[in-house]
């Protein structure tokens, strides 16, 4: 922890084993890029509101320059490396992430607020995408099928899409970068990354390690900016062939409209409103553990967090009692302080939103069992882990993602009612349920309208699991072989007149 007189940035530099991975400028072609006229923006630690560092604020011209360099970078990288070589470079990138994981976790915890334990977990999660796609790179299969014409062969192979624009969120400052760039680089693409305004330093540190691992500098650019119009260039510019975005549904729709101007490929990982159903035959201890990890991971700031917890009336009271015991044992505090289990929210707007959802629920008949208050005295953006029962569809939490530590408990009487409630949303990212009945497990998993289903678990994210949604939660999948395909085009070759 910093001493009373020490500023946060000195504390960070002192804590890092290799301070050179912490940089506060853009990286274009492997070189430091300052903002025009020295323009910067401040990044503060959400737990203390203290400034961590100022970061260079790049312009639209900088982004256009990065895109132009990425065009040449792509041409060289895709034609001069084999898939196996790209896999080897990614293996070295993985090795460097693991070797620097303590430093990366410290940077991540300070800029995002999450606990050091969660930040370390995220660094490992980020690294897992790099090792996964290092292995996937050489497994980029095409196929062949008998042609319907005589004396003809028809087959397909995969080609990299080209220059990729990557726009990522603050809630997973490292993993959301690697989940996109590892498959892009494995395929042979080049990337221009616009990191989140709140947490640019993890992306910049990863860029330094990627270049050190052997990714050509003209293939990997990071352009921090607060200028939305400049960032939109990644969606508009005709030289960008693919746009991958993780963030809100509203911004995703806007970027998709812009990308349509050049018909570029898009992957959109957008908002969720996940239901978590606890059926009457569930094992309550598994369900409580599942809710704890699913709802309170990253203080409720994940797009796969359970937003609506639906509990069968027969077991509701027992479930609430067990959940409240666990929630009351959580400890709010600074991410880098030992013993903290819950970090802060990202900013004041996030605290306001949780507070509004809680007040709205309580004003409409919700019953408070735990939490329910902002913790302004802690100096950061803290809101207590909160449990409210008697939630109804009239409440805001039923329709809008809280993105914070509010466990809203709805109840139901039958499986049919639970499914109706669960599917009554425009979103379809994740859904969860708990049941010990195998027939029911298969039935309910099929009937939930979402891209990912967790059964008897609250943790579904991993490199081998295709991440993505249906409905307004977006399009595309990240992870497994599908993640690589998002960065590839299928080319079909027909060879006719093969007769002698
Ligand atoms: C997200 O919230 O965007 C990602 C969460 C995850 O990968 O588990």
Residue 209, CA distances (Å) to 119, 123, 127, 214 in order? 18, 13, 12, 9
Instruction: Please report the atom of ligand 1 found closest to the CA of residue 169.
Output: 3
DSSP letters along 387-447, please? EEES--TTSGGGTS---SSEEEEEEESSHHHHHHHHH-SSEESEEEEE-S-HHHHHHHHHH
Report whether 345 contacts 354 (CB < 8 A).
yes
Instruction: Please report the atom of ligand 1 found closest to the CA of residue 246.
Output: 3
Question: What whole-number distance in Å separates Cα of residue 58 and Cα of residue 35?
Answer: 5
Report whether 383 contacts 374 (CB < 8 A).
yes
Q: How far is the CA of 301 from the centre of ligand 1 (A)?
A: 9
Q: Is 473 in the pocket of ligand 1 (CB under 6 A)?
A: no
Q: Is residue 6 annotated as a catalytic residue, yes or no?
A: no
Residue 438, CA distances (Å) to 76, 311, 452 in order? 52, 19, 18
Mean pLDDT along residues 312-339: 97
In the block, which residue shows the tokens 């908002």? 271
Q: How far is the CA of 454 from the centre of ligand 1 (A)?
A: 14
Q: Is 303 in the pocket of ligand 1 (CB under 6 A)?
A: yes
Q: Is 332 in the pocket of ligand 1 (CB under 6 A)?
A: no
Mean pLDDT along residues 132-155: 97
Return the SS3 of 340. Answer: coil
Q: Is 168 in the pocket of ligand 1 (CB under 6 A)?
A: no
Q: Which residues pair with 310 in a beta bridge?
A: 277, 410
What does the pLDDT read at residue 1? 85
Q: Using alpha carbons, select from 328, 332, 280, 272 the residue that is nearest to residue 303.
A: 272
Number of H helices, E strands in the chain: 15, 22
pLDDT at 297 over 90: yes
What does the pLDDT read at residue 208? 98
Q: How far is the CA of 161 from the centre of ligand 1 (A)?
A: 24
Q: Which of 269, 374, 401, 478 is catalytic?
A: 269
What does the pLDDT read at residue 378? 83
Q: Is 302 in the pocket of ligand 1 (CB under 6 A)?
A: yes
Burial class from Cβ neighbours inside 10 Å (0-12, 13-18, 19+) for residue 159 reads middle
Mutation choice for ligand 1 from 118, 174, 175, CB with most ligand atoms inside 8 A? 175
pLDDT at 14 over 90: yes
| Percentage of the residues of the chain whose pLDDT score is greater than 90 | 98
What does the pLDDT read at residue 395? 98
Q: How far is the CA of 106 from the centre of ligand 1 (A)?
A: 20
Report whether 421 contacts 431 (CB < 8 A).
no
Each as own residue / partner, the long-range contacts of residues 476-482 (CB below 8 Å, 24 or more positions apart, any chain) are 476/244, 476/266, 476/267, 476/268, 476/269, 477/267, 477/451, 478/179, 478/180, 478/183, 478/267, 478/269, 479/129, 479/132, 479/179, 481/136, 481/139
Q: How far is the CA of 487 from the centre of ligand 1 (A)?
A: 20
Q: Tell me the pTM.
A: 0.97
Question: What whole-number distance in Å separates Cα of residue 429 and Cα of residue 473?
Answer: 5
Q: Which of 55, 303, 305, 450 is catalytic?
A: 303
Mutation choice for ligand 1 from 176, 177, 246, CB with most ligand atoms inside 8 A? 176
Q: Is 171 in the pocket of ligand 1 (CB under 6 A)?
A: yes
Instruction: Please report the atom of ligand 1 found closest to the CA of residue 461.
Output: 8
What does the pLDDT read at residue 46? 97
Q: Using alpha carbons, select from 87, 67, 294 the residue that is nearest to residue 162.
A: 67
Q: Which residues contact 163 (CB under 8 A, 6 or more apart)?
A: 67, 70, 71, 74, 189, 190, 191, 192, 239, 240, 241, 242
pLDDT at 28 over 90: yes
Question: What whole-number distance in Å separates Cα of residue 399 and Cα of residue 70?
Answer: 41
Q: What is the mean pLDDT of the chain?
A: 97
- Residue having the nearest C-alpha atom to atom 7 of ligand 1: 461
Mean pLDDT along residues 199-224: 98
- Residue having the nearest C-alpha atom to atom 6 of ligand 1: 461
Q: Is 461 in the pocket of ligand 1 (CB under 6 A)?
A: yes
pLDDT in tens, 364-419: 999 999 999 999 878 899 999 999 999 999 999 999 999 999 999 999 999 999 99
Stretch among 4-13, 129-138, 451-460 having the lowest mean pLDDT: 4-13
Alpha helices (H) in 188-315, listed in sequence order:
201-213, 228-236, 249-260, 284-296
Q: Is residue 472 annotated as a catalytic residue, yes or no?
A: no
Mean pLDDT along residues 203-229: 98
Question: What whole-number distance in Å separates Cα of residue 282 and Cα of residue 312?
Answer: 9
What does the pLDDT read at residue 476? 98
What does the pLDDT read at residue 221? 98
Q: How far is the CA of 205 from the centre of ligand 1 (A)?
A: 20
Mean pLDDT along residues 184-199: 98
Q: Is 304 in the pocket of ligand 1 (CB under 6 A)?
A: yes
Q: How far is the CA of 179 from the centre of ligand 1 (A)?
A: 10
Q: How far is the CA of 261 from the centre of ligand 1 (A)?
A: 28
Q: Which residues of 251-279 are buried (b: 16+ CB within 10 A; e: fewer)?
A: bbeebbebbeeeebbbbbbbbbbbbbbbb
Mutation choice for ligand 1 from 294, 303, 345, 350, CB with most ligand atoms inside 8 A? 303
Q: Which residues contact 155 (CB under 8 A, 6 or more apart)?
A: 142, 143, 144, 145, 492, 493
Instruction: Please report the atom of ligand 1 found closest to the CA of residue 297.
Output: 8
Q: Kindly report the length of the chain.
A: 500
Q: Which residues contact 199 (CB under 8 A, 6 or more apart)?
A: 43, 108, 111, 112, 170, 173
Q: How far is the CA of 299 from the centre of ligand 1 (A)?
A: 13
Mutation choice for ligand 1 from 304, 450, 458, 466, CB with most ligand atoms inside 8 A? 304
pLDDT in tens, 228-287: 999 999 999 999 999 999 999 999 999 999 999 999 999 999 999 999 999 999 999 999
Instruction: Please report the atom of ligand 1 found closest to the CA of residue 179.
Output: 7
The neighbour count for residue 485, using CB atoms within 10 Å, is 17
pLDDT in tens, 469-489: 999 999 999 999 999 999 999
pLDDT at 177 over 90: yes
Q: Which residues contact 297 (CB under 8 A, 6 or more apart)?
A: 118, 305, 459
């Amino acid at each position: 922890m910093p001493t009373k007189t020490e500023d946060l940035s000195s504390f960070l530099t002192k804590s890092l084993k290799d301070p050179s991975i912490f940089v506060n400028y853009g990286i274009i072609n492997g070189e430091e890029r300052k903002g025009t006229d020295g323009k910067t923006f401040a990044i503060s630690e959400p737990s203390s509101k203290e400034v961590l560092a100022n970061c260079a604020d790049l312009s639209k011209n900088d982004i256009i320059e990065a895109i132009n360099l990425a065009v040449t970078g792509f041409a060289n990288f895709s034609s001069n490396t084999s898939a196996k070589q790209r896999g080897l470079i990614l293996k070295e990138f993985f090795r460097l992430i693991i070797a620097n994981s303590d430093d990366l976790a410290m940077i991540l915890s300070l800029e995002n607020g999450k606990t050091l334990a969660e930040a370390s977990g995220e660094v490992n999660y980020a690294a897992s995408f790099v090792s996964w796609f290092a292995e996937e790179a050489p497994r980029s299969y095409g196929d062949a099928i008998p042609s319907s014409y005589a004396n003809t062969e028809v087959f397909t192979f995969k080609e990299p899409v080209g220059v990729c624009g990557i726009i990522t969120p603050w809630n997973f400052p490292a993993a959301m970068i690697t989940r996109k760039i590892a498959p892009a680089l494995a395929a042979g693409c080049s990337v221009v990354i616009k990191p989140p305004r709140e947490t640019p330093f993890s992306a910049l540190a990863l860029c330094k390690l990627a270049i050190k691992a052997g990714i050509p500098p003209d293939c990997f650019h990071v352009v921090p900016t607060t200028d939305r119009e400049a960032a939109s260039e990644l969606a508009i510019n005709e030289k960008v062939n693919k746009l991958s975005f993780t963030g809100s549904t509203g911004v995703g729709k806007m970027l998709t409209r812009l990308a349509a101007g050049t018909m570029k490929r898009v992957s959109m990982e957008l908002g969720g409103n996940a239901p978590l159903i606890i059926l009457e035959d569930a094992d309550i201890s598994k369900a409580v553990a599942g809710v704890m990890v699913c709802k309170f991971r990253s203080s409720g700031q994940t797009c796969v967090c359970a937003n609506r917890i639906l509990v069968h009336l027969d077991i509701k009271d027992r479930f609430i009692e067990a959940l409240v015991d666990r929630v009351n044992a959580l400890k709010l505090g600074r991410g880098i302080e030992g013993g903290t289990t819950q970090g802060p929210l990202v900013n004041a707007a996030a605290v306001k939103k949780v507070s509004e959802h809680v007040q709205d629920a309580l004003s409409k008949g919700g019953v408070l069992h735990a939490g329910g208050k902002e913790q302004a005295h802690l100096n950061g953006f803290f809101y207590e882990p909160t449990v409210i029962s008697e939630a109804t569809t009239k409440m805001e939490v039923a329709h809008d993602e809280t993105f914070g530590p509010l466990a809203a408990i709805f109840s139901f009487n039958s499986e049919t009612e639970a499914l109706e409630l669960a599917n009554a949303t425009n979103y379809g990212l994740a859904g969860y349920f708990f049941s010990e009945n195998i027939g029911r497990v298969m039935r309910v998993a099929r009937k939930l309208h979402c891209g990912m289903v967790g059964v008897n678990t609250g943790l579904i994210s991993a490199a081998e699991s295709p991440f993505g949604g249906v409905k307004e939660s977006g399009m595309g999948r990240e992870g497994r072989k599908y993640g690589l395909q998002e960065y590839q085009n299928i080319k079909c070759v027909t060879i006719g007149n093969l007769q002698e």
